[in-house]
Amino acid sequence: MSQCKHVAIIMDGNGRWAERRSHCRTWGHIRGSSVVSEIVEEADSLGINALTLYSFSTENWGRPTKEVSTLFKLLKKFLLRERQRVIKNNIRFKVMGDYQDLPSQTIQIICDLEEVTENNKGLKLTIAFGYGGRSELVSSVNNWIASNPGKMISQKNINNLLLVPDLGDVDLLIRTGGDQRISNFLLWQIAYAELWFTKTSWPNFTKDEFRGIVNKAIGRERRFGTVDANTSLDHSVGLAKKNKNIFLENREGINNE
């Protein structure tokens, strides 16, 4: 079983890949969409629990109309093409974000696949479409305020109010295409994620490169704010609380040394 329980990918570089080949940007998205199935299959074979793919951000509405329309159509084609494979492989499928402006038929396809796979126990495949990290956090806090007026909010409360709370923290964030930015993606969930930026454009991204990145990330020492390697963020938080209490109990003696 992979130590990377949750992997998130910013699938970038489609448009530039196409332009370098004297094609329109939409051609890059078409080629890039064919890569998704291979990476999903590899993530499943590696024993990864959750794979979250950044497909369309709230800021992507600023792109040319033709490009946006193509992304909408590609999502629909992907859902129709992969439906049986998702069900057969026990994958739980979800779309996170504001996708209500999609064509009604596509929305229905999404809802249907989410419902059919909601009890599946395999890979948790999530497509972030119409998604923005800041919007997710604002929505979470506003929902808390509406339901708990006057009460303080905790980290646990925010975790429980995220769009897909059971995904947990991201262990590894990969961005293809050469840029080294987070681009408003899973801002809360990537607090302690390993970050990996590759120059490979998404249409050229292969399962071999994906596997290599995951294996290298597993080899990185994760300390979660401590000095020595730690098994998880929860373990690190527990250790920090314990050591803080010990320090406070002995503070006077320490200060007099």
Per-residue b or e along 209-241, where b marks 16 or more CB atoms closer than 10 Å to that residue's CB: bbbebbeebeeeebebeeeeebeebeebeeeee
Q: Which helix (H) or strand (E) element contains residue 172?
A: strand 172-175
DSSP state of 70: H
Neighbours of 55 (CB within 10 A): 26
208 is catalytic: no
Q: Which helix (H) or strand (E) element contains residue 100?
A: none
How many helices (H) and strands (E) would you count in the chain? 9, 6
194-197: strand order across its sheet: 92-96, 124-131, 50-57, 6-10, 172-175, 194-197
Whose structure tokens read 């390993």? 194
Decide if 132 contacts 60 (C-beta within 8 A): no
Catalytic residue among 12, 14, 49, 171: 12
Give CA angle at 171 (4, 111), nearest 5°.
90
Catalytic residue among 44, 60, 143, 184: 60
112 is catalytic: no
Query: Which residues are catalytically annotated?
Result: 12, 60
